[in-house]
Amino acid sequence: MRASRCGAAVRAARAVRWGALAALLALAGCATIPSSGPVAAGLSDLTQAEQQVQYTPPGPVAGATQEDLVQGFLYAATSPSDDYSVAREFLTAEYAAQWDPSFGVLVFEGGRPFRSDGDTAGVLSLSAVAKVDAQGSMLPVQPGASTEMRFEFERVGEEWRISSAPAGVILDSSTFTEIWSSHQLYFVGPGNVLVPETRWYPNRPSLATELVAALLEGPGEPLAQVVTSGFPAGTELVGNSVQVDEGTARIDLSGAMLEAGPLATGSARAQLRATLQSVRGVSGVELFVDGAPLRETPEGEGGAPRQVGQLSDPVVLIGEEFGPIVSGELRPLDGFGATVAGFDPLAITLSPGGQSAAMLDPDGVTLLEDDRALPVDDRPELLPPSFDLLGYVWTVSAAEPAVLRVTGSSDGGAAEIPAPWLSGREVAAVRVSPDGARIAALVAGDGGSQVLVAGVIRDENGVPVGTTQEAEVQLWAAGAPVDLDWMGQLRFATLTREGGASKVTFAGPGQFASPQGSVPQGVELSGGGGRTQLRVLSADGGLFAPQSGGWQSTEDDVALLAKRG
């Protein structure tokens, strides 16, 4: 649509009442891509010129009802131009100065019915799906009862205006994902690997500045005890902006950066490169301190943290043979792989490198290597074990889930770690993330299933010593819990059962849930590092792979589907 037609549409829209709000929403198509605009950090100054998708909502019209005002106010909040000046037109002058749109975003789906609550108040009912806080961190909202948002009204002359409203912005999910997108801040985790933290930001040219500023502030509370950063405390952006020139982000930091040694500087540079890799138009990074180039050193470059890669072929037990399926062919493993069938295994998890395996059998969990089989846990009601990237085996008993046992694969030494966030829970699966920074548990609760995610705390040598006291619910899913596995660092997949079907759902810390259909009588899944590597095992031995929005059977007579890590 040409700009002149967009302007005409907006002018015409001002002549209609808010009862025709659906027609006004069609104006979302009047989008322009700006070529320039001022840089603004944070969520409190979302200038319209910077958004790649622009909304041009009208202000209130004469004779608007209270419901008209509320619906119009919600639509006006799609435009942060001039500090949400259009949205503030719906408010009394006193409240317009108090309303804080930077508080965060409530994301909803479906309708938004309004009901009066007396002569000067009303309630908007929403089916909320997620909340985004002022730092851009997202958490899902428990499904069920509607979220009720209360508004109060006053007469200003002959017109109604809103005198009280919820802090923050309210957006439907489709609009939210048009003007916001998820990005990852990278910090340094155990084993000197990069650990992502997902945040949500408006789509605009100042995105690089916002990401770097957030990176300098450090990780959010869930990861603060888990990861480190190469940036010394007090490091700031000089000029409060990141300049992007022909694909290179030029990042000028304050003198505090000089306090970092070569290793920390190498970490900081790796964090910046990984964090900015998702920014459109950025292909490289140059680092400066007070205007002077900060050159790379061999010491820093050699010790820089690495990114975790975890794409692997599915590994199965068919008959007496245990090994990966490569191009449709089972390739039996030598060494410990040749002994697996003799243990009558119930579940197997391979170490990240595949040199060993943790096996659950009727006697407990055993660590398998080529030259030994080491018992590591014989508690009752053990769940399938998990490996972390440093080689520790994690085991949990469904009878006592609040006590995790961690066993070193090198010496067999074991320690018990409290997990108070699992106390009293009905736990179906527990899995450590591929980077070793998080631990996720699939549990039953509130008529369905939940995935709780906590941080893994380690000492200076990488030995697990605890988890964070609290865990965040990162997924609410319908059905009884069946199985869980990570699909790389950002996402996990769950299997939950409703009737005879087992539903597959993708989600992750700071991510929207994504239903992936169902597999008849699915009992196990393996993430494999990505969607194309994901496999689901059915109760009758069928192995299913995702294909064209559904699930395709690829193998029969599979006795066991292994996980990795």
Give the DSSP letter string of 147-203: EEEEEEEEEETTEEEEEE--SSEEEEHHHHHHHEEEEEEEEEEGGGEEEEEEEEEES
H or E stretch at 292: strand 292-293
Tokens of 228: 């480190």
Statement: residue 264 has pLDDT above 90: yes
pLDDT at 2 over 50: no
Task: Flag whether pLDDT at 401 surpasses 80.
Answer: yes
CA-to-CA distance for 391 and 409, rounded, in angstroms? 6
17 versus 232: the higher-pLDDT residue is 232
Q: Are strands 169-172 and 104-109 parallel, antiparallel or unpaired?
A: parallel
Confidence of residue 53 (pLDDT cuts 50, 70, 90): low
Angle 207-217/262-276 helices, nearest 10 degrees?
140
- Domain at 185-302, CATH class: alpha beta
Q: Would the pLDDT of 553 be above 60? A: yes
pLDDT of residue 25: 34
pLDDT of residue 381 exceeding 90: yes
Percent above pLDDT 70 for the chain: 90
pLDDT of 118: 95
Structure confidence by residue, pLDDT tens digits, 164-181 = 999 999 999 999 999 899
Model confidence band, residue 42 (pLDDT cutoffs 50, 70, 90): very low
Which of the residue ranges 119-133, 279-293, 406-420, 449-463 would you say has the lowest mean pLDDT? Answer: 406-420
Span 196-215, pLDDT tens digits: 999 999 887 889 999 999 99
The pLDDT tens digits for 325-343 are 999 999 999 999 999 999 9
Which CATH number is correct for 315-564, 2.120.10.30, 1.10.490.10, 3.30.450.40, 3.30.565.10?
2.120.10.30
- pLDDT at residue 11 greater than cutoff 60: no
Please, what sign has the CA dihedral across residues 65, 67, 68, 73? positive
Query: What secondary structure letter does DSSP report for 113?
Result: -
Encoded tokens for 312? 């692997």
- For residues 67, 72, 77, 82, the Cα torsion angle rounded to the nearest 10 degrees is -130
pLDDT digits (tens, 9 = 90+) for 223-235: 999 999 999 999 9
CB 433 within 8 A of CB 419: no
CB 365 within 8 A of CB 393: yes
Where along the chain do its domains lie? 3-178, 185-302, 315-564
Q: Quickly state the pLDDT bin for 370 (edges 50, 70, 90).
A: confident
pLDDT of residue 254 exceeding 80, the answer is yes
CA distances from 476 to 183, 467, 502, 536 (A): 22, 22, 15, 20
The CA distance from 284 to 246, in Å, is 9
For residues 126 and 108, the answer to whether their CB atoms sit within 8 Å is yes
In this structure, which amino acid lies at residue 414? A
Q: What is the pLDDT of residue 31?
A: 32
Between 83 and 1, residue with greater pLDDT: 83
Q: Where does the pLDDT of residue 52 fall: very low under 50, low under 70, confident under 90, or very high at 90 and above?
A: low
Residue 299: the pLDDT is 57
Q: Across the chain, what does the average pLDDT equal?
A: 88
| pLDDT 10s digits, 295-328 | 887 655 568 899 888 788 999 999 999 999 999 9
- Which residues 6+ apart lie within 8 Å of 395 measured at CB? 358, 365, 376, 377, 379, 382, 383, 385, 386, 404, 405, 407
pLDDT value at residue 38: 36
Residue 88: phi and psi, rounded to 5, are: -70, -20
Cα-based angle 59, 28, 201 (whole degrees, multiple of 5):
95
Q: For the residues 250-278, what does the mean pLDDT come to?
A: 95
CA nearest to 450, candidates 432, 470, 469, 472: 472
DSSP H/E element including 455: strand 448-458
**Residues 235/237/242/248 CA torsion (nearest 10 deg):** -40
Higher pLDDT, 559 or 48: 559
**CB 179 within 8 Å of CB 202:** yes
Residue pair 286/320 in contact (Cβ under 8 Å)? The answer is no
Q: What are the pLDDT digits (tens) for 110-143?
A: 999 999 999 999 999 999 999 999 999 999 999 9
Instruction: Indicate if the pLDDT at residue 28 is higher than 80.
Output: no
Instruction: Say how many Å lie between the first and final Cα of the chain, rounded.
Output: 50
Question: Is residue 161 predicted with pLDDT exceeding 60?
Answer: yes
Question: Which tens digit of pLDDT belongs to each residue from 491-550?
Answer: 999 999 998 889 999 999 999 999 999 999 999 999 988 899 999 999 999 999 998 879
pTM of the model: 0.88
Which pLDDT value is given to residue 296?
80
Name the DSSP class of 543.
E
CA–CA gap between residue 235 and residue 251 (Å, rounded) = 12
- Rounded Cα–Cα distance for residues 550 and 228 (Å): 40
Q: Is the pLDDT of residue 151 over 60?
A: yes
pLDDT given at position 442: 98
Q: In what order do the strands lie in the sheet with 414-418?
A: 386-387, 392-397, 400-408, 414-418
Q: For position 465, what pLDDT does the model report?
A: 95
**564 near 526, Cβ under 8 Å?**
yes
Residue percentage of the chain with pLDDT more than 90 = 78
Task: For residues 470 and 315, give the distance between their C-alpha atoms in angstroms, rounded to a whole number.
Answer: 34
For tokens 């119930």, name the residue: 346
The pLDDT value recorded for residue 4 is: 34
Task: Report which of 331, 395, 310 is spatially closest to residue 359, judged by C-alpha positions.
Answer: 395
Distance CA 269, CA 288 (A): 11
Residues 59, 89 contacting (CB under 8 angstroms): yes
Q: How far apart are CA 48 and CA 60, in angstroms?
A: 19
